[in-house]
A and B are shown apart, each in its own frame.
Chain A
Amino acid sequence: MTEALLSVRGLTIDLPPGSDRPHAVEDISFDLFENEILCLVGESGSGKSLTAAAVMGLLPQPSVRPSAGQLLFEGRNLLELDEDEWRTLRGRRFGMIFQEPMTALNPVMRVSNQILEVLEAHGEPGGPERVMELLNAVNLPDPEHLKSAYPHHLSGGQRQRVMIAIALALRPTILIADEPTTALDVTTQAQILALIRQLQSERQMGVLFITHDFGVVAEIADRVAVMQHGRIVELGTKDQVLEHPRHDYTQRLIRAVPTLDPPERRPLDRVQTVLSVKGLGKTYRTQGGLFRPRRVVAAAKNVTLSIRKGETLGLVGESGSGKTTVGRCIIRLIDSDAGRIDFHGVDLNAFRGRALRPYRKRVQMIFQDPFGSLNPRHRVGEIISAGPIAFGTSKTEAMKRAQELLQLVGLDPTVVDRYPHEFSGGQRQRIGIARALALQPDLLIADEPVSALDVSVQAQVLDLLADIKRRLNLSMLFITHDLRVAAQVCDRVAVMYQGEIVEQGSTGELFRHPTHPYTRALLDSIPGRHWRARA
């Protein structure tokens, strides 16, 4: 093998005093070679992003700082550089792409100027013509028009292309990509991964690619380093790591990735229908003005679906497809403007306000964000018992029930006196599930319940949901963008696209023989779809 572009030797990064561990990264070593993509994969808190920041000289110093080791690049130890020397490397020799395309660009500066800026900062000639070339190189449509665009005029995928144009403007030797596709929809993600792959091989760059997603690793990596608690536990070629993982942690992580092979499901044809939605519609209108046309967005159009007792229906689609709107209409958090919502044969749309209350407790929701969806000022016990108390259960009775529920979701019943911030994301999601179950609902609406969780925690929460559903014979509407999760969890799946359900069927049938072109595109975009995680 040729000489490494970048050699990381024994790098240790200290965390500020009072953190949960002394080092974010501890004694890690790896090489990055020319013309390769090295994936640094791990769960949140594994230290992978801080490693990337250290290579770029962008650690939030002085609170987080490298305390030992070397970053060797062209014979120099980067850890000894001063800020001026770093500045000549950043942008010119090292390019970086970040996770959040929505926030990584300056909202009040034209995108063309944001690209131009990096050329000017390094005294590069070419100016506006180079900007046009770069916009073309990242396959942005209509670059001429984009010249005057601001970031908010662009979609997430387009913004990420602009970021890539900025990172590659000066033909850097090394590209650092920190979860560059995590915030993108699956079809956009596939395009951006292909673009990174293409540009990397055209330019023979070394790419350090940070991700938590083994599907993405399977799609893009040449070599893989697995990080856990600040250490690299396994390092090897993609085949070695994905197909023959040696370390116990890697094996566990890979096992936790849901496969795209839906398990056999028992048919539910003869079971009673719990929920039947017919022709549901919801249109958002912005208020028009004297000189301003009103804007109309159909978030849900003629949505028809049904869920039987004990059945899980998956509602899948990309962001903005209307799946959350449908969920919220069913639980009557928002009012739909067309259609029927028959719940045990009663049309919920016929009720308003107080009349709806008896049904409120029978349909409950589990939310996506385990941090935002629990009131930080309420104790866990209050959060879980608030619903039953509102429906007339005595406080002592409700508290007793809260403790039982905590046990049911795998938490210690004594935690009723603690506050949400004392729990991890996965534990909070368990609390959210306990809260939803407190009213003994017939129907659960789970809106991306595991999207914010790490893959191993995600597996635990999914197991818990499956277990509870089976024990209580619950029906569930499971809203998700993650087709791997849908494959494992759902009995049937409905695919939403631009407010409409374009295809609906049993999970096995839909995954094996998709008929609608959009469903096919969606399935084709799943990263690492040819890589089968072993069960």
Chain B
Amino acid sequence: MKRSVFLFLVVMAAATVSVSAQTTPPASAVGDTFSDPVMETRARAMQRQLRCLVCQGESIDESNSPLAADLRRLVREQMAAGKTNSEIEDFLVARYGDFILMKPPLQSNTWLLWLAPFLVLGAGGAVAWITVKKASARVA
């Protein structure tokens, strides 16, 4: 009984989602949108990867600040001029530093940042292995 109720819920949930997810999202900034949906999607994805430098951790995609609006325009102008994503990124990093990237680049001063969680996971795994081995030795 409970299983069938849940089944119903899952199907309902999926159906709900299917109805609502059909439209492609338009831009956050009114006025400067691309009419080409491919370009628009690319611009939105790019905007989410760039930090609004004067806000608290917001991307330029979701910030109301004038600087974010300027940066959005800048990104779109460069895209319209045919620049690739990495060219635009390089340009912005040269201007504002790594601070503008929501995803920190993997380089000499960030490798520890990227590896640390997995180092801890590995170390934890090793300790777990030893613990379990010792405990099972006590059983025998």
Decide whether A and B assemble into one complex. Answer: no
Interface of A toward B, CB cutoff 8 Å = none
